[in-house]
Amino acid sequence: MTRTADARSRTPQHTERLQGYVYRRPLSGSELLPAVGVGVAAGLVAFYVTRLFLERTPLLPEERRTGKHHASGPRQA
């Protein structure tokens, strides 16, 4: 059987609708607007949280942080 004959045998007139089958339709701009808004809001929140972490004040002054691996002090030998 060739591809064109096979494709013709599957036209919508010859197939039964499957139970629970949902087809996707193109969305208009007004229907996409809420999804775009949520995406922009999520991006802004991620940007804000990242900026907070990058700009936070260190817990220890610079001179006390040098040579330490964590805030509890230098490693014991």
pTM of the model: 0.48
| pLDDT given at position 44 | 98
What is the tens place of the pLDDT at every residue in 50-77? 999 999 887 777 777 666 565 555 555 5
pLDDT for 22 equals 79
Residue-wise pLDDT for 10-65, tens only, equals 555 555 666 777 788 898 989 999 999 999 999 999 999 999 999 988 777 777 76
- Find out whether 64 and 74 touch, Cβ atoms under 8 Å: no
- How many CA atoms within 13 Å lie on the side-chain side of 22? 2
